[in-house]
Copies of this chain bind each other. A is one copy, B any other.
Amino acid sequence: MKLNIAVLAGDGIGPEVTAQAIKTLNAVAEVYHHTFTFKEALAGAIAIDETGDPLPQETLDLCLEYDAVLFGAIGDPKYDNDPSAKVRPEQGLLKLRKSLGLYTNIRPIKAYPTLIDKSPLKRDRIEGTDLTIYRELTGGIYFGEKKLNKEGTIASDLCEYSEKEIERIAHLAFKAARSRKKKLTLVDKANVLETSRLWRKIVTNIGKSYEDVELDYLFVDNAAMQLILNPSQFDVILTENMFGDIISDEGSVIGGSIGLLASASVGDENAMFEPIHGSFPQAKGKNIANPVASILSAAMLLEHFGLNEEAKAINKAVDKSLELNIVTTDLNPDSQYGTEQVGDFIADYI
């Protein structure tokens, strides 16, 4: 298979972890006789520094033209505490999601047996956890109208959802549940929010055509508790953009390291793959960042194009690295292995 992959490595540790994902994909291409073509483009703080725009038109055009996007991480602390900054790296990411129509963000969360003792949660609470979060990614309060009055004393953000926006992701989530443990949990705040009530109505209706999938509902505050108290109760969690942001980052602690968590953002025409962790600027250039999340994102990319065997090969190589303790220091403080070395091992193993 021929795949053209746009690489947006971004800021902080983005470039170094993405390099390991590319290395891994190159190994896959060699072994399985595929042709993967990579082309890099600017995004995030580095794009602002070089062009003034967190998502230059050139980058967007490349992403639209290519088959998939491999994304690193973006964000730089110099923008975070400056509420008056007009241009921010995150705008680039949000615009990219919107322009590519990536309305579904998929985040699998698993308790790896070899890592279970790294988790802040007790073993018996997390054993058997294997859930996946379907987060709506191009609607809600992220993209609704934002206002600030002239005096700078009143601000607002509008959270809006339409039937169509809810339906399309709901179908994807039900289908995923169908191919998994056949349970879908809608997380909302229907006791307070009008948008949540619309979600509940529509998802309930759609549920009728997926009779083999058990549908239940949790208020987001309760979900935030249940995810820690008893994560193995979940199969597929479906939720709106803002709740998904919070819940999926919260869920990332279960596995013991956010450095292992990959995600796919998909739409009808485009797809992007990125680690969940951020740009982690403190670790930049130190060869200590965990490349596994980025490498597993590459595996999700392959799966997206039906290359399941290839994806499995990556997953197996990652499992092996964990088993042999060939991991970065976030997983083993005494480790001698850095970002590069873990990437090398995984690529070689393939």
**CB <8 Å contact, A156 and B194:** yes
Contact status A193-B120, CB under 8 Å: no
Interface residues on A, range: 35 or more
Q: Is A191 an interface residue (CB 8 A)?
A: yes
Q: A192-B90, A250-B225, A253-B228 are in contact. Are A153 and B162 (CB under 8 A)?
A: yes
Instruction: Please tell me if A41 contacts chain B, counting CB pairs below 8 Å.
Output: no
- A159 contacts the other chain (Cβ, under 8 Å)? yes
Contact (Cβ within 8 A) B157 A163: no
Does A217 touch B at the CB level, under 8 Å?
yes
A84 cross-chain contacts in B, Cβ below 8 A: 197, 201
- 9-residue interface stretch from A57-65, A142-150, A265-273: A142-150
Are A160 and B153 CB-contacts (below 8 A) given A83-B190, A194-B148, A224-B224? no
* Closest B residue by C-beta to A79: B191
| Separation of A79 and B157 alpha carbons in the complex (Å) | 28
Report the minimal beta-carbon distance from A32 to chain B, rounded to whole angstroms: 36
A228 to B242, CA, bound (A): 19
Does A110 interact with chain B (Cβ within 8 Å)?
no
B191 close to A75 (CB less than 8 A): yes
Q: A147's closest neighbor in chain B, by CB?
A: B194
* Nearest CB in chain B: distance from A239 CB, A: 11
Counting every copy of the chain, the complex holds 2
Contact A156 B155 (CB under 8 A): no
Contact B194 A157 (CB under 8 A): yes
Interface residues of A in 159-179 (CB under 8 A from B): 159-164
Across the interface, A198 reaches (CB within 8 A) one of B155, B201, B243, namely: B155
A185 interface residue (CB < 8 Å to B): no
A193-B146, A198-B83, A200-B83 known; A163+B153 contact, CB < 8 A: yes
Q: Is the CB of B225 within 8 A of A146?
A: no
Q: Does A81 contact B (CB under 8 A)?
A: yes
A83 touches B160 (CB 8 A): no
In the assembly, what is the distance between CA of A302 and CA of B346, in Å?
61
Chain B nearest Cβ from A290, distance in angstroms:
15
Contact assessment for A80 and B122 in the assembled complex, using a CB-CB cutoff below 8 Å = no
B157 touches A162 (CB 8 A): no
Residues of chain B lying within 8 A (CB to CB) of residue A122: 120-122
A35: Cβ under 8 A from any B Cβ: no
Say whether B80 contacts A190, CB under 8 Å. yes
A163, B154: Cβ atoms closer than 8 Å? yes
5 closest Cβ pairs, A-B complex: A224-B250, A221-B249, A155-B198, A83-B197, A146-B194
The contact sample of 7 A-B pairs, CB cut-off 8 A, is: A83-B201, A120-B122, A141-B192, A154-B162, A156-B160, A157-B194, A225-B253
